[in-house]
Structure 1
Amino acid sequence: MSRPPHDTTAAALKAAAQGWPVFPLAVGDKAPPRGLTDWEKRATCNPDQIRAWWKRAPYNIGIATGPAGLVVIDLDVPKPGQHPPRPWAMPGVHDGADVFALICQRAGIPLELETFQVRTRRGGLHLYYTAPPCTRMPSTNGSVGWLIDTRAWGGYVVGPGSVVSLLDGTGPYTVQHGIAPAPLPPSLFKLLESTPIPPKRPVHVPIPDSRHSAYLRAALERELSHLAAALPSQRNRTLFGTAAALGELVAGGALPEQEVKELLEQGGGALGLSPGEVARTVASGLRHGARRPRRLTA
């Protein structure tokens, strides 16, 4: 990954000066650096803490949207070869911004764009709004519409001034419209609040009938129970340990990798960890476990 071409300290301090708690994201990445857990609680507006963090590296900037009192609507653009699914496959709909405009039109509410805007690295758009008082709106992933996510409590956005370099695209996050965030319009709040969050599909890990079936089921139950009981300060570490333990059985051919991976990602998400943090920790834990394959002998 390439390093940002400039120091991001000033951009982090500028975000914090607006009352938006920030925390480091890995250089060139969208996820926190290794070892930084509980980012929503550790995010801060304290300039001394920010300078201390940013002395270590030209980190990218994470803005904890919930503590910042923000609701950010993330309007993404499709990746190469990605096309609108039903019911969004229609003339004039090409990306998340088109879908959002169509949703507002169908709901009979104005498209409120006069607010703080950030252009993302692949050409998407972040719309910043201040959250309604006395609310704790959750973040969503795709439930509002195709290529639309929302970031509020339990979520964060990559702040302006950051530069991300990943396989699916490289580029900066830049302020496109630098006015103060507008209050989230009541009509838009009602629309977002009423959007149902689809339940997650239960993951079934197939275990063939054999003399080891009971052992494998017990191992899965034990590790998942351990993960569910993780203390807030130990969530990421516990997820890594659980993935490493099950990764030994996956590498030994006793458990299927894809289903175990999905099960771990659901468990990590249930703990309140961010999707990026969960995916990275699960992948790292499975790789670690694969170094010591556990093969069950007859």
Structure 2
Amino acid sequence: MREQAVELARRGFPVFRARGKYPLEEGWQDEATTDPDKVYSRWTCPVFGNDQGWNIGIATGRRLPNGLFLAAIDEDNKDGKTGAASLEMLAAIYDEPMPDTFRTRTPTAGRHHLVGTPRPIPNSVESLAPGIDVRGEGGYVIGPGSVREIGVYEIDNDADIAPAPKYLTKLAFQPKPKLEAKANIELDTTAAIERATDYLLNRAPSALEFHGGNNTTYKVFAKLREIGVSEQTAIELAAEHWNETKADPPWSIDELATICANAFKHGQNAPGSAMPENEFEAVAVKDVLRGGIEIEPVVKFDALDIPKRQWVLGTFAAKQYLSGLVSPPGVGKTTFLLMLAVAIATGRDDIVKLKVHQRGRVLLWNQEDETNELKRRLLAVMVAFDVKWSDIEDEKGKPRIVLGSGVDRRLMFAKRNAAGYVQPAPDAKAIEDYLASEQIDLAIFDPFVEMHEANENDNPEVAVVGAVFRRVAVKANCAVILAHHTRKPPAASASDAYAGNMDTARGAGSLAGVARMVATLYTIDKETGKRYGIPEDECRRYVRFDDAKANMSLVSGEPMFFRREGVVIGGEGGEEVGVLRPADLKRGKDAKTAARDDLVTDALEIMGARVAMPIGDIAKDLTGLPMYADKTAHALRLALKRAFEKKQQINENEQIGIIVQGIPGRPGATACLVRSALTSQKDSERTRNKPETSSS
């Protein structure tokens, strides 16, 4: 992001740091500068010297190198707004089209037309036309290259700043008519607008969906009416100072206008009736801190009002979110991803040992393997798990699995534009539309590194690409899995240290930050094999799947294992293709625990049916057994004492432990292993609490 900010400053744009779509610090007006050195310094970490990745704000109302003052015509096209149509209407009315000027596209399909005016113009909300806001003196817009969770800002027209249409200056300074109430109270005075703005910023309540949001918004407009502003001014002030920060979700301008009209028509108190000294009451509201950070008191809410997560596969893939699968080459990643596809298409949990929450449709795109190879491996998975063609079709016979290969035509989600910035590529929108129209539940893209032109070691650039994929997931209401390679293939003897570690992913770490769930897939190493009882020469046949990141669930502590096997496709004379089958591996005992358990078993065999036996005698008899030939009786006696330090249950009725007692014919007391009846905790407590009785 630093390079983009510096380049914009060189071109004369006064830039400042932003987080999301809000200024990073309160004094952003003073920070805004066109000095490239200052910009470079502010975007650089003072400790490590790296690019901190702040978004870019562009301050409007400032003088440009060409002598004009910067203004932004904000064309809003989201949620049914008609910004583009309004600009065409203005061009037709005034016979003056929008000039060829620097233009950016927003993540919500809007556009910022940056133009120059003879003098600074005021900010306004839909004063020119529906869907058209103006950012002038004291305002700002977010610059190209900036990244938000919903997408990125990109250059739409890389041209010099052109003079604004003449109608913009004319309409911007056209005085608003003063409206009077029935009681001849003057509306829209400077004092009234200031009080209304202060109310909206600091005292107006928040309107929350499912918590009376419509009624709250009505009350806000009723209060604005009492403060003494007109209906149109109330809409503009609420849109600028309240809607984006206190309405969740924000209202459209048309919705605000409808609620405002009702409040102004049916308000009980007269316009302007609220006196400055007693007009506001204390309410719990969001506080807006620096950079647009919001904090809000928690009020009682119903869990049923919170939408449930749309899990698709276990807790690894959910709709509208990104998941990452990190794996070195040659492990079986492509086969595993095909198994995921078959699991979703069939609704079977047993294929990858992850719960399939609902059968669905899957798109799997592989940039490296040709379509025939993908079909070959898919068929092998179907043979291995006895899946018929009808099992992966819906009720109408439509396939639930769609395959795509980038061998002949590569799929690109992000490319560099002429200015060198990474931005969404046309393919991203095409895939988004396809996933939505075909109602795809899970989309798999393999490998991530080959689907963009970003520098894979540049965090801000990779974050842009991640945001593009996230936008696809959200807009298409689809779970997205990105397959990714490790930084460096680990040695076979060291993969245990990589498994379950998301930081082993190749390139910049920002991808793991964008993904909500990350897992790893590795061949097991010798140490893992030893723990699970796998012979050393068999370890290469086993693969482990580990949770590495789970923002929305608990991380599983135990890996899932799969065994590499070969299946023949095409009947007799066909070819063998590798698959992965789930393997139920259990941790084996370590050598120390196993030796202790063997000692206990051998000691009990020597005791036989006897109730008690001296430990020394048992140790002496043990030395006669071949497996203890290298042990002394003294060493075995100490080992027995450690093994039976706590009583051990030997069956459902008996336990055995060490008791020091006298033995007939032997002087003093001797440590013995003694059988006793197994006593329940309740019986023990009853015995302890039984009152003592004295004998007469």
TM-score by length of 2: 0.27
Contact kept, 8 Å, 2:71 with 2:135, in 1: the verdict is yes
Indicate the residue corresponding to 2:106 in structure 1.
120
Q: CA deviation at 1:278?
A: 8.7
- Among 129, 142, 153, the alignment partner of 2:115 is 129
Q: Deviations over 1:10-51 (max 9, x none)?
A: 11111111222111110xx10123xx1132222112333322
Rg: which structure is higher? 2
Indicate the residue corresponding to 2:73 in structure 1.
73
Which aligned pairs between 1:226-241 and structure 2 lie closer than 5 A?
Answer: none
- The AA in structure 2 aligned to 1:144 is L
- Among 269, 283, 287, the alignment partner of 1:284 is 287
Contact kept, 8 Å, 2:145 with 2:154, in 1: the verdict is yes
Which aligned pairs between 1:1-298 and structure 2 lie closer than 5 A?
Answer: 8-26=1-19, 29-33=20-24, 36-56=25-45, 57-68=52-63, 69-79=69-79, 82=80, 95-106=82-93, 108-132=94-118, 135-165=119-149, 170-194=150-174, 196=176, 275=241, 279=245, 283-284=286-287, 290=297
CA shift in 2, pair 1:193/1:10, >3 Å: same
Higher RCO (Cα < 8 Å, 6 or more apart): 1
Q: CA deviation at 1:136?
A: 2.3
Q: Secondary structure at the match of 2:173?
A: helix
CA distance in 1, matches of 2:178, 2:143: 28
Contact kept, 8 Å, 1:144 with 1:195, in 2: the verdict is no
Q: Which runs of 5+ in 1 are unaligned?
A: 1-7, 85-94, 200-223, 229-238, 248-255, 267-273, 293-298
CA distance in 2, matches of 1:157, 1:198: 30
Matched positions, count: 211
Contact kept, 8 Å, 1:109 with 1:188, in 2: the verdict is no
Q: Deviations over 1:58-97 (max 9, x none)?
A: 0110000112521111111132xx4x6xxxxxxxxxx201
Q: Secondary structure at the match of 2:77?
A: coil
Q: Deviations over 1:178-199 (max 9, x none)?
A: 1101112334422443374999
Q: Deviations over 1:166-220 (max 9, x none)?
A: xxxx222111211101112334422443374999xxxxxxxxxxxxxxxxxxxxx
CA distance in 1, matches of 2:176, 2:152: 32
Q: Deviations over 1:104-130 (max 9, x none)?
A: 322x32212311111111221111111
- The AA in structure 2 aligned to 1:77 is N
CA distance in 2, matches of 1:22, 1:257: 37
Q: Secondary structure at the match of 2:287?
A: helix
Contact kept, 8 Å, 1:96 with 1:146, in 2: the verdict is yes
Contact kept, 8 Å, 1:143 with 1:195, in 2: the verdict is no
Contact kept, 8 Å, 1:143 with 1:197, in 2: the verdict is no
- The AA in structure 1 aligned to 2:109 is G
Q: Secondary structure at the match of 1:194?
A: coil
TM-score by length of 1: 0.58
Contact kept, 8 Å, 2:16 with 2:33, in 1: the verdict is yes
Q: Which has the higher strand share?
A: 2
Contact kept, 8 Å, 1:32 with 1:277, in 2: the verdict is no
Q: Which runs of 5+ in 2 are unaligned?
A: 46-51, 64-68, 180-193, 207-214, 228-239, 247-284, 300-696
